[in-house]
Structure 1
Amino acid sequence: MDKHHNTGEPRRGRPRSEAVERQILQAVITLLEEGVSLADLSIERIARTAGVGKATIYRRWAGKEELYVEVVQSMESPSPPLPGHSLRDDLIAMVENVRRRSAAKQSSALLHNVFAQMQSYPKLWSKYHSLVIDPRRELLDEVLRRGVENGEIRAGVDLEMAGDLFVAPMLVRTMMRPDTELPGPELAERIVDAVLEGLRPAR
């Protein structure tokens, strides 16, 4: 993740205006709602719709890929802060966020359509992963490592595989069985408890 997204510091030394950024993000959403495809979006058209100059956009985003990723983030459910009370609570919060984001994609035709288009653009899809997916996975890995250090997960567990075990059941429900209704937060609790049972140190 780059410095701009990590710290919120201005790009190229220019002051950021949240109101102008919201205006630009909304302009992209408006164009997408009107049926403009990602292929047909241009910085010129976005700037004209937002009522700003192209330079205003380029001061905030290096290119269309970064702008589109932030547009998608603005339409997704934000990641809540982790409770920090226990390994179980943090894992439930993370798995529940997967459910919320997946439910949002199911209920939003626009979001579903944008994701379908994004996957046709390898550079954009890669940028989405590096700015959105990878940091979430790194946080999950950190939570699991703390679990090992605290003795809540036995030493020697393949943490990459363990992370997959927590997230995969929710993804299967949404990607492989998209017509299945997603139950509430209790599903995240059941998944976490089932996987944790297999990862705890032997009693």
Structure 2
Amino acid sequence: MKIDLPGTQPAADSTGPAPGTGPAPCPGTGPAAATDAAAGAAPRRGRPRSEAAEQAIFAAVERLMEDGSGLAELSVERIAAAAGVGKATIYRRWPNKEALLVDVIDRLEQPPPPLVGPTYRDDLIALVEYMRRRGLIKRSRWVVKSALGQMGAWPELKATYHERVIKPRRELLRTIVRRGVAEGELRSDVDVELLCELVLGPILLRSVLWDDSPLDDPDLARTMVDTVLQGIGTRPRPEPSDRP
């Protein structure tokens, strides 16, 4: 994708022989072939220009937020000026400011874990562990905490964040739970949404609502998942004897 950053354009290739020099050599032959092949095989250095522009834009938003700018105060003009790019560079990548800010916020967090198993329980633990680490990042990085906190007062941004970030994560959890049901490990008579809430509810409560609760236990995810899977009730009481 073309961006409006300083750069050079490759020179145009010649399409035929110069006047009076005879036919052009066949492609892939002649003394220059080996040199051309070597040049083609040489690895490129540095980032592609499009990636460099995106990194500059992301970094500019983070700097502006660290300097105290609220999400609603950030304009495309300010972001472009701070990043050293034109507004067109931003609009070629994002349809509006909300979409850009969602990508910035999502980038500040860790990506969700891949489903590698080998069991549905392992994937549940990995997802809860991801949420635990996300909670720690939110507590340790002011920019993340500020950005997530401001979304509640900005319906457009909150809706975009939910569609682009939250919804895929919820579907990831549904996939894991459905796998457990299909394998006969989870109850099939319980609604899938309720099963998802029972699994993810404890870590969300601790990392979002009760943000002073401890999250530094590396075994917390396993403990939470196993506690839910095993149930929190006591063992069934023995039936009373029919004897008088």
Query: How far apart are residue 179 of structure 1 and its match?
Result: 1.7
Number of aligned pairs? 185
Counterpart in the other structure of 1:4: none
Counterpart in the other structure of 2:128: 95
Out of 17, 26, 29, which is 2:62 matched to? 29
**1:124 pairs with 2:122:** no
How far, CA to CA, are the matches of 2:224 and 2:118 in structure 1?
18
Q: Larger RCO: Structure 1 or Structure 2 (Cα < 8 Å, ≥ 6 residues apart)?
A: 1
Query: How far apart are residue 16 of structure 1 and its match?
Result: 8.0
How far, CA to CA, are the matches of 2:172 and 2:150 in structure 1?
27
Q: Which amino acid counterpart does residue 130 of structure 2 have in structure 1?
A: N
CA gap of 1:138–1:16, structure 2 versus 1, over 3 A, is farther
Out of 199, 217, 220, which is 1:184 matched to? 217
How far, CA to CA, are the matches of 1:27 and 1:166 in structure 2?
37
Out of 27, 31, 51, which is 1:18 matched to? 51
Counterpart in the other structure of 2:112: 79
How far, CA to CA, are the matches of 2:131 and 2:73 in structure 1?
30
Does structure 2 retain, via aligned residues, the 8 Å contact 1:83–1:90? yes
Encode CA deviations 1:44-82: one digit per residue, 9 max, x unaligned.
111111111101100100101110001001111222222
Out of 200, 203, 207, which is 1:167 matched to? 200
Query: How far apart are residue 183 of structure 1 and its match?
Result: 2.9
- Higher normalized helix content (fraction of residues): 1
Query: How far apart are residue 17 of structure 1 and its match?
Result: 1.7
How far, CA to CA, are the matches of 1:134 and 1:186 in structure 2?
27
Counterpart in the other structure of 2:137: 104
CA gap of 1:164–1:40, structure 2 versus 1, over 3 A, is same
Query: How far apart are residue 151 of structure 1 and its match?
Result: 1.2
Partner of 2:157, secondary structure, is: helix
How far, CA to CA, are the matches of 1:107 and 1:122 in structure 2?
26
| Percent of aligned pairs sharing the same letter | 51
How far, CA to CA, are the matches of 2:49 and 2:159 in structure 1?
26
Q: For structure 1, which runs of at least 5 residues remain unmatched after alignment?
A: 1-9, 199-203
Q: Which amino acid counterpart does residue 167 of structure 1 have in structure 2?
A: L
How far, CA to CA, are the matches of 1:16 and 1:121 in structure 2?
32
TM-score by length of 2: 0.72
Q: Which amino acid counterpart does residue 50 of structure 2 have in structure 1?
A: S
Encode CA deviations 1:78-118: one digit per residue, 9 max, x unaligned.
22222221011000000111111111111112211111211
Does structure 2 retain, via aligned residues, the 8 Å contact 1:141–1:163? yes
Aligned ranges 1:39-78 → 2 under 5 Å: 39-78=72-111
CA RMSD of aligned residues (A): 1.6
Partner of 1:183, secondary structure, is: coil
